[in-house]
A and B are shown apart, each in its own frame.
Chain A
Amino acid sequence: MGAVVGTLTMQTRQRRPSRDKVDDDLELSMVCHRPEGLEQLESQTNFSKKELQVLYRGFKNECPSGVVNEDTFKQIYSQFFPHGDASTYAHYLFNAFDSSHNGSIKFEDFVTALSILLRGTTTEKLQWTFNLYDINRDGYINKEEMTDIVKAIYDMMGRFTYPALKTDTPKQHVDAFFQKMDKNRDGVVTLDEFILSCQEDENIMRSLQLFENVI
């Protein structure tokens, strides 16, 4: 008898229409972006056609829709740093890449940034880095911004480091940075101070050339 009642109720449940929320999501993901022509990109960046092709293939493979949004970006970047949490630094990176500030990176932004980083002049690289550090885009790097950046970098290390990370390690790092960069001791670093200080430092100059032949 109980079974009979059970079967009857099962039937009524099925008659209720199922409403999917999936339809809404489908609309969003249908947005597809195609980059400008290959020649145009070639003229705008320092990459050759072949290199652009390689880059685009990798880009398209991971993001078939043609744009990277922040979550995907964070996910991709985190895969390279499994020990710690790369999401904060990825967030800053995303903002640096996203030159049009619309929350998504198109292939052009991607390639432009890479062109600067890999094939640009030292000044351009340093300028890009300054943009990265300057979170609020006001032209100055203050201590809070720098602390955020440095903390984000340390986050990528994860918990298990040798020697063990102490709580004031980022702060010390930031102090050392400002010691070096802030020439006029006004508590902020401007672009010119930044470029000047970096050009004086041999280590930095050398390391900027490190990734010349990545592609």
Chain B
Amino acid sequence: MAAGVAAWLPFARAAAIGWMPVANLPMPVAPTNKNKHQDELIILNVSGRRFQTWRNTLDRYPDTLLGSSEKEFFFNEETREYFFDRDPDVFRSILNFYRTGKLHYPRYECISAYDEELAFFGIIPEIISDCCYEEYKDRKRENTERLMDDLEDNKDSKLPNMTFRETMWRAFENPHTSTMALVFYYVTGFFIAISVITNVVETVPCGSTPNQRDIPCGERYTEAFFCMDTACVMIFTVEYLMRLFAAPSRYRFMRSVMSIIDVVAILPYYIGLVMTNNEDVSGAFVTLRVFRVFRIFKFSRHSQGLRILGYTLKSCASELGFLLFSLTMAIIIFATVMFYAEKGSSSSKFTSIPASFWYTIVTMTTLGYGDMVPKTIAGKIFGSICSLSGVLVIALPVPVIVSNFSRIYHQNQRADKRRAQKVQKARLARMRISKSGSSTAFLHSKRNGLNQSLELTLPYYKMKLSPQGSLEEDQQMKKTTSLLESQHHHLLHCLEKTTNHEFVDERLYEQGYLQTALQNFPSRSPSLSSEEGITGTCCSRRTKKNMQPLSATHTHSHTHNLQELSALHIQCGEQQPLNTSRSSLNLMSDESGSLNCKSSGLVTTAIISIPTPPSNNSRASPDAPPPPNPDAPPLPNPGTDVVKISAL
């Protein structure tokens, strides 16, 4: 029901009195209006900017945050207003939605920020009204493409479990992944160049022997050229076979353009081998040699510009078709006209209409070879019209093709810029530093705190102290932490206690991961303790420590790199891999307690992410309520390495 119409509901109900006399049965009881709010003004304080509206206005959409009782969570008793710590500019459009029933998308707004606000207030973006919907969709699409590009970039980091075949395929597709791939890339490029040059030089007349005419080099040094050709074809064949082997979908690979080019490039050689020096087929054989020039197309794997050109031509197929069609039309028309105009003149080269095609083409493309020229006056007049119109016809579709090319080229340039290793690396490095800064701080203080509180476990974790970094960490133990930090640390500590797991850092995690990769993780920590039949809680922990060597079986850490970028997007991101030297308590991964994402008390940067339990575990939406069961945390399959965290 639309907004304004909801205001007419009382009228519709009143009009129902018209049915009463007709009805035979008693009516059901009317629902009572429990909260007899006289329509009142409510104040919505969004980051300091106060909006006021009638309560009824918000009640129009009861399945949103503002329309339901969810807004009571944001009610501030002292000031008697609803406070939202959100962007007031975007809130304007959201409130207008309640007022007018139409949701508009402001053009100056960033699309992901807008989406987040919509998600927060419980409004689905599909109801954006028609006037703004197209713009929204366009921006959304651009954003997803950008994210996909980012994702592809992140995929470059190695996932440890790739099969040999997959590694090979990745090496082929993206030569920057490893040195081997790069070497392979350059070697094949070199051989393509050699092959093309060979083909060219083969036909150049080499120095002639005194009593013979110039013969091409190919015939003079037949064996040399044959060896060269064989070598190149060997390399190409091997490369093709390797690609075929590594391709994830062989059928699709075989149908792709590049593989067809590969095949066409090497086939003439084999056909030449097979065929004997038969006179009849040698003519056909010579034609086949022409296909060897296709080897030059193999360069398109090496050159991005070439690929873009090809892609542009493909995407401008309709413009090209139009160009072709209009040219053909014009050629036929003018050829006919010229033929009949020149028919009268003697020794005219315009012997037939098809013969005039050549003149028309040469004239329209402003080539003007001069091998055919009109001699009659009429012929000259029509010839000049022909050349003028030729310019127009060819010039028309060209801007379209050019703009297409430019768009695609710029898109690729953008991708390349982002892919530029240095920028990315620096960015990632900075983020990592800030992240680890906070995490080490926590672990330092953790050790501090634990030093004081859990005296019993002191000897154990001291034993398991990691060799590196112990010195400086000891020094920093004395450092005082701010209130905010200590609260934050306390929180993380509570989480650890809740989940009976601990935070570890990356290095320890990877060590532990490799060690434990083959083991099947025993899943339940409490059950372990019961299995052990250990006495007290403290003691049970200790033995568990013995059971599992160092660290981390946090299954998310290795996706650390991948997720670093996405960590910026999310408020409640992954559990941070934190340093610890203690082997700890069973580190099965992230089961988190019910942490409120907002209680971060963020210290350094916004990157400090509070673990969001459900998004870590399941691949489902992040909206699933955290399982508040610390005792038996549901565990992700330890074998799966990737823990998906949705970026929104």
Which residues does chain A contribute within 8 Å of B39, judged by CB atoms?
Answer: 50, 53-54
B33 touches A213 (CB 8 A): yes
For B30, give its contact among A96, A211, A215 (CB under 8 Å): A211
A1 touches B330 (CB 8 A): yes
In the bound complex, how far is the Cα of B24 from the Cα of A54, in angstroms? Answer: 34
In the bound complex, how far is the Cα of B365 from the Cα of A166, in angstroms? Answer: 78
Which residues does chain B contribute within 8 Å of A150, judged by CB atoms?
Answer: 22
CB B635 to nearest CB in A, in angstroms, measures 47
For A4, give its contact among B5, B15, B389 (CB under 8 Å): B389
A114 touches B14 (CB 8 A): yes
Query: By CB atoms of chain A within 10 A, which of B2, B17, B329 has the most?
Result: B17
| Chain A stretch 64-89: residues in CB contact (< 8 A) with chain B | 76-77, 79-80
Residue B516 at the chain A interface, CB threshold 8 Å: no
Q: Using CB atoms, name the residue of chain B closest to A153.
A: B19
Residue A61 at the chain B interface, CB threshold 8 Å: yes
For A117, give its contact among B8, B17, B23, B389 (CB under 8 Å): B17
The number of residue pairs between A and B whose CB atoms lie closer than 8 Å in the complex comes to 118
Q: Using CB atoms, name the residue of chain B closest to A56.
A: B7
CB A28 to nearest CB in B, in angstroms, measures 21
Residue B227 at the chain A interface, CB threshold 8 Å: no
Which residues does chain A contribute within 8 Å of B15, judged by CB atoms?
Answer: 77, 93, 117
Q: Which of A16-24, A29-37, A201-209 contacts B (4 or more CB under 8 A)?
A: A201-209
* Tally of contact residues, B, Cβ under 8 A: 42
Residue B252 at the chain A interface, CB threshold 8 Å: no
A214 touches B13 (CB 8 A): yes
Q: Using CB atoms, name the residue of chain A closest to B388.
A: A4
In the bound complex, how far is the Cα of B1 from the Cα of A215, in angstroms? Answer: 19
In the bound complex, how far is the Cα of B319 from the Cα of A92, in angstroms? Answer: 59
For A132, give its contact among B18, B25, B333 (CB under 8 Å): B18
Which residues does chain B contribute within 8 Å of A214, judged by CB atoms?
Answer: 10, 13-14
CB A75 to nearest CB in B, in angstroms, measures 9
What's the dominant secondary structure at chain B's contact region? helix
B4 touches A61 (CB 8 A): yes
Q: Using CB atoms, name the residue of chain B closest to A176.
A: B24
In the bound complex, how far is the Cα of B2 from the Cα of A117, in angstroms? Answer: 24
Residue B209 at the chain A interface, CB threshold 8 Å: no
B1 touches A207 (CB 8 A): no
In the bound complex, how far is the Cα of B3 from the Cα of A3, in angstroms? Answer: 51
Which residues does chain B contribute within 8 Å of A61, judged by CB atoms?
Answer: 3-4, 7
| Chain A stretch 1-59: residues in CB contact (< 8 A) with chain B | 1-4, 50, 53-55, 57-59
B17 touches A125 (CB 8 A): yes
Which residues does chain A contribute within 8 Å of B392, judged by CB atoms?
Answer: 3-4
B27 touches A206 (CB 8 A): yes
In the bound complex, how far is the Cα of B20 from the Cα of A129, in angstroms? Answer: 9
CB B60 to nearest CB in A, in angstroms, measures 10
CB B566 to nearest CB in A, in angstroms, measures 42
B326 touches A1 (CB 8 A): yes
Please, what's the 1-or-0 string for B101-127, where 1 marks a CB less than 8 Å from any CB in chain A? 000000000000000000000000000
Residue B370 at the chain A interface, CB threshold 8 Å: no
Residue A110 at the chain B interface, CB threshold 8 Å: yes
In the bound complex, how far is the Cα of B330 from the Cα of A213, in angstroms? Answer: 80
For A114, give its contact among B11, B23, B26 (CB under 8 Å): B11
Given the known inter-chain contacts A61-B4, A76-B5, please indicate yes or no for A211 contacting B13, CB distance below 8 A. Answer: yes
B7 touches A210 (CB 8 A): no
Residue A173 at the chain B interface, CB threshold 8 Å: yes
A79 touches B5 (CB 8 A): yes
A3 touches B393 (CB 8 A): yes
Residue B396 at the chain A interface, CB threshold 8 Å: yes
In the bound complex, how far is the Cα of B25 from the Cα of A137, in angstroms? Answer: 28
In the bound complex, how far is the Cα of B13 from the Cα of A110, in angstroms? Answer: 14
Residue A149 at the chain B interface, CB threshold 8 Å: yes
In the bound complex, how far is the Cα of B15 from the Cα of A114, in angstroms? Answer: 8
Q: Using CB atoms, name the residue of chain A closest to B334.
A: A1
Which residues does chain A contribute within 8 Å of B3, judged by CB atoms?
Answer: 61
In the bound complex, how far is the Cα of B329 from the Cα of A67, in angstroms? Answer: 62
Query: By CB atoms of chain A within 10 A, which of B8, B13, B329, B396 has the most?
Result: B8
B8 touches A173 (CB 8 A): no
Which residues does chain A contribute within 8 Å of B20, judged by CB atoms?
Answer: 129, 204, 207-208, 210
In the bound complex, how far is the Cα of B12 from the Cα of A117, in angstroms? Answer: 11
Residue B21 at the chain A interface, CB threshold 8 Å: yes
| Chain B stretch 327-348: residues in CB contact (< 8 A) with chain A | 329-330, 333-334
Given the known inter-chain contacts A77-B12, A125-B17, A211-B16, please indicate yes or no for A62 contacting B26, CB distance below 8 A. Answer: no
For B329, give its contact among A1, A96, A203, A206 (CB under 8 Å): A1
B12 touches A2 (CB 8 A): no
Residue B56 at the chain A interface, CB threshold 8 Å: yes
Which residues does chain A contribute within 8 Å of B358, judged by CB atoms?
Answer: none
Q: Using CB atoms, name the residue of chain B closest to A54.
A: B39
B18 touches A129 (CB 8 A): yes
In the bound complex, how far is the Cα of B27 from the Cα of A203, in angstroms? Answer: 8
A76 touches B27 (CB 8 A): no
Residue B211 at the chain A interface, CB threshold 8 Å: no
In the bound complex, how far is the Cα of B19 from the Cα of A198, in angstroms? Answer: 12
Which residues does chain A contribute within 8 Å of B278, judged by CB atoms?
Answer: none
In the bound complex, how far is the Cα of B19 from the Cα of A173, in angstroms? Answer: 12
CB-CB nearest 10 A-B residue pairs? A58-B7, A62-B4, A117-B14, A61-B4, A207-B27, A214-B10, A207-B20, A1-B330, A80-B12, A203-B26
Binding site for B on A (CB under 8 A): 1-4, 50, 53-55, 57-59, 61-62, 76-77, 79-80, 92-93, 96, 110, 113-114, 117-118, 125-126, 128-129, 132-133, 149-150, 153, 173, 176-177, 181, 194, 198, 203-204, 206-208, 210-211, 213-215
The 6 listed contacts between A and B (C-beta, < 8 Å) are A1-B334, A77-B12, A126-B21, A129-B21, A173-B24, A210-B27
Binding site for A on B (CB under 8 A): 1-5, 7-27, 30, 32-33, 38-39, 54, 56, 326, 329-330, 333-334, 389, 392-393, 396
Known A58-B4, A117-B17; 4 more pairs at CB < 8 Å = A1-B326, A55-B10, A114-B14, A150-B22
